[in-house]
Amino acid sequence: MAKRKDTKLESEGAEFLVLGHLLIEGIHCYKAYVNFPGYDLQAVNPKTGKTVKIQVKSRWATDYDKSFSIKNFDCDFVIHVALNRGDSFSKAVKKGDSKTSPIFYVWPVKEVRKAREKQNSFNKVKIKKIRSVEKPENNWQLIRDFLEKK
């Protein structure tokens, strides 16, 4: 069995990538640094006083199985970042570089919870099983709308 790749640095980077995207979308946001097991970021609407807890899940490999694990659902949104940093699982040697730009998927946590494979001890969620959001890629508007509701 191959040694598992240490992707701690990349997962921290994914949190900062999401934070940066939210900020450039005009959504006030900050990173929760320690002791917040259910979420990594918190977005705030200073006008309404509403806050949103966001959990960031990421996968390093470009050729991953389009799933992620999640155990704690103490958040309002889950943002999955496909980092696409290269191939890790393919047995065939590919020509060229498989690195591509990251893809951000934004979902309400209740939809992620519905799609979780309950029989799987890793609490895996397959992206294709999350049905509620028609176009989850870069859908920062979901968070903006939630924060603007009275």
Whichever domain contains 144, its CATH number is: 3.40.1350.10
Within-domain flag for 58: yes
Collect all residues with Cβ–Cβ distance below 8 Å to 141 and sequence separation of at least 6: none
**Positive or negative: CA dihedral 67, 109, 45, 135:** positive
Within-domain flag for 26: yes
Average pLDDT, the chain: 86
What percent of the chain lies above the pLDDT cut of 90? Answer: 50
Residue 95 has pLDDT above 80, yes or no: no
The domain of 28 spans 8-148
Give the tokens for residue 111. 């939809």
Quote the number of domains for the chain: 1
Secondary element (H or E) of residue 41: strand 41-44
Over residues 34-72, the pLDDT tens digits come to: 778 899 999 999 999 999 999 999 987 887 788 898 989
Within-domain flag for 1: no
Q: Is 11 helix (H, G, I), strand (E, B) or coil?
A: helix
94: confidence class by pLDDT, cuts 50, 70, 90: low
- Predicted local confidence at residue 92, as pLDDT: 52
